[in-house]
Amino acid sequence: MKIGDKASRNARWRMKVDRPPELQNVEPKQERSELPPAQMRHIDKRNNSYAFNPETVGADDLSYIQQCLDRQWRSRETTNGIDDEDIAAAITLVIYKSIYEKRLDEFRLVRVPGEPTNGLAYCTSDNTFLIRNPKPERKTSLPCEIENQLIKTKNHCQIVFASRWAVYFNGWALRKLTEAKSCEIYPFSGDIKELLEAMTQVIQHFGHGVDRRYTLPKFRNIIPDFALGRLGLDPLNVALLTGTDSYFSDKAGFYFCIHQQVIQDTHVAIVNHLEGISVETDRVADNKIVCGDAWVGHGRCVTPDNLRSYVDRIKRGLSKKTGRGYLASIIAHHNWLTLYVSEIFRFVTSARDVENPYCDILVSASGDLCATINDKNKEDYPYGRSIPVGSVASSLWHYYLEHLKTLPVRLRAWERKFGNAVLEHIQTPSNPPFFYLMQNKILPSISQSKRNIVFGDVHITEMPGLIRHYLRSMLSRHGVHWALIEAYMGHCISGRYTHSDFAEGMQADIINCVCPVIDTLLEDLGWCDL
């Protein structure tokens, strides 16, 4: 019998009539809905989302949310952890507890979670929070009037209220907090309303194009970082605090090792700013960027000293003589020199691939001060991006090209292909990328033992992420504009801004502002001395 046919309807009607008189008008008991209480809930069927009015939040609502969270946590004790639905519920609980317990009369979301995905919280200008349905039947987008008010980031959530309280979470930190079955709110001493106003001014500045060259479509690396950076906070701490760096946010243990110190530093910076006290940017001795003594059990850090020691290790490899004869020594020297050149360009261009240190390095030289980087995983510039590298790195590259011409004819066939392919690639940019040829055995490969050179106690494949923070911090401390740093790192070139827009709009500024600092750093670290 089909559900929708006439017999089925008659059968259901007879069942209702045959019920006792006192139960005929009583509907069967339905299971409890997982939706919040009615006074909090407004269902927008068009967008498959729930809009909450914080003015109607009460103690019963908070306890209901807490009960839902407890049930979810208990049901996942034997699974792989917390999912996006739990994260959304935890964020919601923190928001409502803040509103209910502190009776905040004014608040605004400064930074919100990333691309509108399931189970994340948003705030609109009319003080209404929008919670996406954790399990929509199909993907939906937010209304235009709401979406236009959001500053979209990726997989992170940072909520700042215009009062004495702030909440900072990223995905991993919130997972750890929810696993501990607790959520924390970190207080700031002093009203941070001025900070929010400063951020608003920065938004307006970049949004309305005071200088069109710095009007980039993605603000996630500029707005909060720039506003906090103006207070003198260390750029690395800013990046960690705002969750802008995916390399660090992927490390579950890292965030908790340094989180309290970052909060304390931010607290001091904001208080000093509000009290009119100047803050020193070189707070950490010897320009040392400390990543915490217990980060994933290693205590990794980047300093000028261990950078110099890393350079010295490669130089010692350049001077090694093998016992296999003249040709073997030439090949060994050549491989070490290739490693040296690749690492210097990884440093100056902030190449970011951490799985294979040779997949997105220099592919060609275009002019005296620029190099083209093969960011093959970047959809925004699939043909590479042109990055000024400075005179020191450019001179080293030309030295390397001259070295290729001196390779003896007696080298093996792949060595001859190596020299010819590189020289041909310089003349014909449409050829395969330089290190693509190496990966496909057309060029000489560097042995795994040489790839596994240890940088302090950090594996060489993890060095680029640390180097990037070192370079970002050093450029900032030398007075380079934050927008230029972000563009130089390749963070902000996306959307309608193509590779050519970047080259035409910001390359001259980078050559004039960034390259002199890069040259100074290379000379100080000993990269330029062979």
pLDDT tens digits for range 223-274: 334 444 445 555 445 544 444 433 333 332 333 333 444 445 555 554 454 4
**Which domain covers residue 130, as residue numbers?**
29-187
Does residue 267 fall inside a structural domain? yes
**Averaging pLDDT over each range in 6-10, 166-170, 210-214, 346-350, which range is the top one?**
346-350
Regarding whether 201 and 348 lie in a shared domain, the answer is no
Regarding whether 377 and 325 lie in a shared domain, the answer is yes
Regarding whether 324 and 284 lie in a shared domain, the answer is no
Q: Which of 142, 172, 187 marks a domain boundary?
A: 187
- In the chain, the percentage of residues whose pLDDT exceeds 70 is 14
Regarding whether 197 and 182 lie in a shared domain, the answer is no
Regarding whether 402 and 520 lie in a shared domain, the answer is yes
Regarding whether 502 and 380 lie in a shared domain, the answer is yes
Does residue 20 fall inside a structural domain? no
Does residue 428 fall inside a structural domain? yes
Sequence-distant (6+) residues with CB within 8 A of 161 are 98, 104, 107, 108, 167
Report the domain count for the chain.
3
Q: What are phi and psi of 384, to 5 degrees?
A: 95, 165
Compute the C-alpha angle 216/220/222, nearest 5°.
Answer: 65
Q: Which of 259, 290, 321 marks a domain boundary?
A: 290
pLDDT tens digits for range 468-484: 666 776 777 777 766 67
Regarding whether 198 and 77 lie in a shared domain, the answer is no
Regarding whether 457 and 326 lie in a shared domain, the answer is yes
pTM of the model: 0.42
Closest CA to 96 of 143, 141, 157, 36: 36
pLDDT tens digits for range 96-109: 444 344 333 323 32
Of 170-179, 242-251, 418-427, 454-463, the poorest mean pLDDT is in: 170-179
Of 26-30, 167-171, 432-436, 511-515, the poorest mean pLDDT is in: 167-171
Regarding whether 462 and 336 lie in a shared domain, the answer is yes
Does residue 13 fall inside a structural domain? no
Q: Which of 160, 187, 214 marks a domain boundary?
A: 187
Q: Give 169-223 as a 3 state SS string.
A: EEHHHHHHHHHCCCCCCEECCCCCHHHHHHHHHHHHHHHHCCCHHHCCCCCCCCH
Regarding whether 455 and 352 lie in a shared domain, the answer is yes
Written as one letter, the residue type at 93 is L
Q: What are phi and psi of 2, to 5 degrees?
A: -75, 150
Compute the C-alpha angle 429/431/436, nearest 5°.
Answer: 115
- Compute the average pLDDT of residues 417-439: 43
CA distance 84 to 134: 7
Is residue 89 predicted with pLDDT exceeding 70? no
Residue 354 CB coordination number (10 Å)? 16
Ranges of H-type helices in 373-447: 390-405, 413-427, 434-439
Question: What's the confidence (pLDDT) of residue 312?
Answer: 78
Question: What's the confidence (pLDDT) of residue 39?
Answer: 38
Confidence of residue 21 (pLDDT cuts 50, 70, 90): low
pLDDT tens digits for range 332-356: 777 677 767 767 776 776 655 433 3
Does residue 19 fall inside a structural domain? no
Compute the C-alpha angle 327/438/465, nearest 5°.
Answer: 115
Regarding whether 336 and 208 lie in a shared domain, the answer is no
Does residue 346 fall inside a structural domain? yes
pLDDT tens digits for range 109-122: 222 333 332 233 33
Does residue 342 fall inside a structural domain? yes
Structure tokens at 113: 């979670």
Q: What value does the mean pLDDT of the chain take?
A: 47
Does residue 275 fall inside a structural domain? yes
Regarding whether 462 and 322 lie in a shared domain, the answer is yes
CA distance 106 to 122: 16
Is residue 58 predicted with pLDDT exceeding 60? no
Closest CA to 425 of 384, 391, 457: 384
CA distances to 401, 418, 488 from 331, rounded to whole Å, are: 16, 12, 34
